[in-house]
A = this chain, B = another copy of it.
Amino acid sequence: MQTELSKKLGVEHAIFGFTPFPAVAAAISRAGGFGVLGAVRYTASDDLKRDLDWIEAHVEGRPYGLDVVMPAKKAEAPNHRPLTEADVEAMIPEAHRQFVKDTLAKYGVPELDEGEASGWRITGWMEQVARSQLDVAFDYPIRLLANALGSPPADVIARAHEHDVLVAALAGSARHALKHKEAGIDIVVAQGYEAGGHTGEIASMVLTPEVVDAVDPLPVLAAGGIGSGQQAAAALALGAQGVWLGSIWLTVTEADLSSPAVTRKLLAAGSGDTVRSRALSGKPARQLRTEWTDAWDDPAGPGALPMPLQGLLVADALTRIQKYEIEPLLGTPVGQIVGRMNSERSVQAVFDDLTRGFEEAVDRMIRIAGRSGT
């Protein structure tokens, strides 16, 4: 599965795998794809350093990348200093705090231990944190820097290019993709409605070719709805230069999910068991539908706050739900392909399935088109 972009990056298959787990990222690159480590959870530089060291030791010299969350617009406090977590805390209405308390109480969710804080707070979403992540990352031979929310700031793009690092940004519409192009990025990840995490409303079948046309000649990676080789083939037929898969790696044996109960839920879920909800971050993000997302999406409730307030509001609550495995409330971002995530397999097994399915799809296309060659 070779495109101009995969050749440029020196990978065997144009399969990009986004994952928060170093072991999964390294295994994707070793299998012949391109592993991309999600950095949002690294609020301490030393943790990121440790995990990039680990990848370096296990990636067998294959290329890999990093995904950060860096908003194009700086969040600022009224006096123009950078917004702190305390500023955001102060903006959260009391009624919303009470709704969190009441909902947790309804399900009997125990408190965290004294001094135990959420590992997943707002900080990872803030520019100063992403910048300190980059200070670490550019010491490593990363080949790609992806940004999940908007185009990265101009100086970050310039710095990446000085380090011979390609810059990718996610887009849910052709308009956003064009903005990325104008900002000087190198690759657009077209994130369809069916994808896990933050998504727009345009499905991959429509979005991919639209973005390809809009940003030509920039290469486009298709994200959303891709978990099989047939789906990868479809995305490439739509003009993508590669596929960007996130959800499918959540249930691989190398993954280290917060709770075995989440893995069980993912393995059991069908394609109709996700919802695009603002419950997680304040922006619409696809995730398992749970009684927690239902509570936030209920018109009778207070509704989710805008980003970044919602993320901070629910950080401790989500940690408690995960720690105590409160099944009806327990969820995770995941795309509609969760319906085909029905067994725990190794990254290599998923990869073999992807490449075999792709070849089968090509055989099928050749047959349907009545071409002679194989």
Contacts and interface: CB of A to CB of B under 8 A. Distances in A.
Given A2-B368, A369-B362, A231 B209 contact: yes
B364 A373 contact: no
Contacts of A209: 228, 230-231, 340
Instruction: State the oligomeric state as a number of copies.
Output: 2
Residue in A14, A271, A374 whose Cβ sees the most chain B Cβ within 10 Å: A271
Contact of A230 (B201, B238, B270, B339): B238
A359 B365 contact: no
A320 to B, nearest CB: 30
A374 B369 CA distance: 10
How many A residues are at the interface, by size bracket?
Answer: 35 or more
A230 B239 contact: yes
Nearest to A374: B373
A369 B358 contact: yes
A226 B205 contact: yes
Contacts of A361: 237-238, 365
A203 B210 contact: no
Interface string A242-284: 0000000000000000000000000000111000000000000
A193 B369 CA distance: 27
A43 B218 CA distance: 52
A224 B194 CA distance: 13
A230 B365 CA distance: 12
Contact of A336 (B206, B224, B234, B335): B206
Contacts of A191: none
Residue in A206, A228, A230 whose Cβ sees the most chain B Cβ within 10 Å: A206
B192 A368 contact: no
Interface in A179-233: 192-194, 200-207, 209-210, 224-226, 228, 230-231, 233
Contact of A374 (B206, B226, B371): B371
A235 interface: yes
A210 B339 contact: yes
Interface in A331-374: 335-337, 339-340, 358-359, 361-362, 364-366, 368-374
A365 B228 contact: no
B225 A205 contact: yes
18 contacts: A192-B205, A193-B193, A200-B272, A202-B336, A203-B203, A203-B204, A203-B205, A203-B224, A205-B225, A206-B337, A210-B340, A230-B238, A231-B238, A233-B237, A359-B369, A362-B365, A365-B365, A372-B374
Given A193-B193, A233-B234, A299-B299, 6 more contacts: A192-B203, A205-B205, A234-B235, A237-B365, A361-B365, A371-B374
